Amino acid sequence: MARTFWAAMALTASVAAAAAQEDVITVVHVEQNPAVQEFWEDLAKKFESANQGVDVQFQYLEAEAFKQKMTTLLQSSDRPDIIYSWAGGVLRAQVEAGVIADLTEKLDPAAKDMLLPAALDAFTLDGRIYGVPVRMTQVGIFYNKDMLGAANVDPASLATWDGFLKAIETLKAAGTTPLVVGGADKWPLMFYWSGLALRAGGSAAFEAAVAQEGEGFAAAPFVRAGELFQQLTALEPFQSGYMGTKYGASVGQFGDGKGAMMLVADFVLNGMKANAADGVGIPLDRLGFAPLPTVEGGADEPNATLGGINGWLVTEGASPRAADFLAFFMQPENQRMAAQKSFYIPTVKGLEAELANPIHQVISANLAKSTYHQNFYDQALGAAVGAVVNDVSAELAAGNMTPEEAADAVQEAYAFEQ
């Protein structure tokens, strides 16, 4: 196996000793697409073939189950060797709890140059590297071209919030469900509130709130986000029963043509394949993507993006071969295959031309020119505050909270954690 990813000092005597006996590497992830799972497990078999006595075992959990179980798993004596991460405040809390390995001295300088800087920065805390970024995502409006065309909705109108609302009204008048969302999981609704906060206040509003300057998360841009969100929900744009629909079921509905649009990240592409009735969903040539709509009077930061930077963490006490498996996993030829198979947008530089999926090509270009990439609020702000963000997003959608109450609740939760 090439050892270009990790520095030579990572190769300890324990590695050689481990090779003489069975060494199980446990990996826990949230990936639900069987094709991606099969690809990763094929990589694991290749690694096992080149490393006698190693057994890589994957476990896949639904995202909410993963979040709920991970704290307990990490505190147990048999914690997984490698876990999935969205980075942000959740990663910081795990590092502070002493359950995540510091990879700084193990990472080869050449590997740092191999990765997109913004992606590596997401897994860097106080100058120390705690994870390996694998993919980047962008939140935006995914739309069914045929359904918009049948209702005479111009996709260009989705560029502004007013145009988006008008499209909702037009679709409803045509008898089409405008939007599909998995409201039961709450976090899909968070994309609306946090996306609107980004467009209303830009990066400056979020950074000021994190620094607890002024009114923090109770400041005007976050209230404005709630007001705009409730402009949308007043139009009743979502599918029937959306608050009782889980995310997986919702992407299946979108893939089955039961709604014209979803505001979601590009992992919806894998989700459709896993949940649509035909195992495919909307054909790529009939699927469109538009960035978050700009809002009138909002921050002049149109290239700012909202999305995830996802990757792997090695836990403290993990198998000494865990880092070696990640080195193999991240080799450019393996990540090139992921791009060619349209699974995700890798964080390895130079693979843009390998992206077979036209939606990935658009998003990759957007991320390349992004002036600011906002990580998901429910990850960036930590588990406790993130849960409140998701809760208030659902309450705003249901009309159970005013925009001011929602912003105040997030501010109170964040201040309590400081």
pLDDT at 14 over 90: no
Sign of the CA dihedral 373, 407, 95, 329? negative
Instruction: Give the pLDDT confidence score for residue 198 in this predicted structure.
Output: 98
pLDDT at 2 over 50: no
Instruction: Give the pLDDT confidence score for residue 7 in this predicted structure.
Output: 56
β-strands 54-60, 23-29 pairing: parallel
**Mean pLDDT for the chain overall:** 91
Q: Please give the average per-residue pLDDT across 209-221, as a whole number.
A: 97
Instruction: Name the token pair of 308.
Output: 């995830």
The answer to whether 191 touches 170, Cβ cutoff 8 Å, is: no
Instruction: Give the pLDDT confidence score for residue 22 in this predicted structure.
Output: 66
C-alpha 269/C-alpha 287 separation (Å) is: 10
pLDDT tens sequence across 43-94 = 999 999 999 999 999 998 888 888 888 888 898 888 999 999 989 888 999 9
> Where residue 203 falls among pLDDT bands split at 50, 70, 90?
very high
Instruction: Give the pLDDT confidence score for residue 16 in this predicted structure.
Output: 40
C-alpha 182/C-alpha 258 separation (Å) is: 13
Instruction: Give the pLDDT confidence score for residue 107 in this predicted structure.
Output: 79
Coil, strand or helix at 139:
strand
pLDDT tens sequence across 367-405 = 888 889 999 999 899 889 999 999 999 999 999 999 999
In which residue are the tokens 């089955």 written?
256
pLDDT at 8 over 50: no
**Residue in 106, 102, 120 with CA at minimum distance from that of residue 7:** 106
Q: What are the distances in angstroms from CA 162 to CA 127, 195, 214, 228?
A: 42, 15, 29, 10
Percent of the chain predicted with pLDDT > 90? 73
> Where residue 342 falls among pLDDT bands split at 50, 70, 90?
confident
Instruction: Give the pLDDT confidence score for residue 189 in this predicted structure.
Output: 98
C-alpha 80/C-alpha 315 separation (Å) is: 7
The answer to whether 328 touches 310, Cβ cutoff 8 Å, is: no
Neighbour tally for 66: CB within 10 Å: 17
> Where residue 5 falls among pLDDT bands split at 50, 70, 90?
low
Rg of the chain over all Cα atoms, to the nearest angstrom: 21
β-strands 124-125, 345-346 pairing: unpaired
What single DSSP character describes residue 225?
H
Q: Please give the average per-residue pLDDT across 256-281, as a whole number.
A: 94
C-alpha 34/C-alpha 25 separation (Å) is: 20
Neighbour tally for 157: CB within 10 Å: 17
Instruction: Give the pLDDT confidence score for residue 17 in this predicted structure.
Output: 40
C-alpha 258/C-alpha 269 separation (Å) is: 16
- Residues with Cβ within 8 Å of 152's Cβ and at least 6 positions away in sequence, in order, are 170, 174
**Residue in 281, 44, 290, 52 with CA at minimum distance from that of residue 163:** 290
pLDDT at 218 over 60: yes
> Where residue 12 falls among pLDDT bands split at 50, 70, 90?
very low
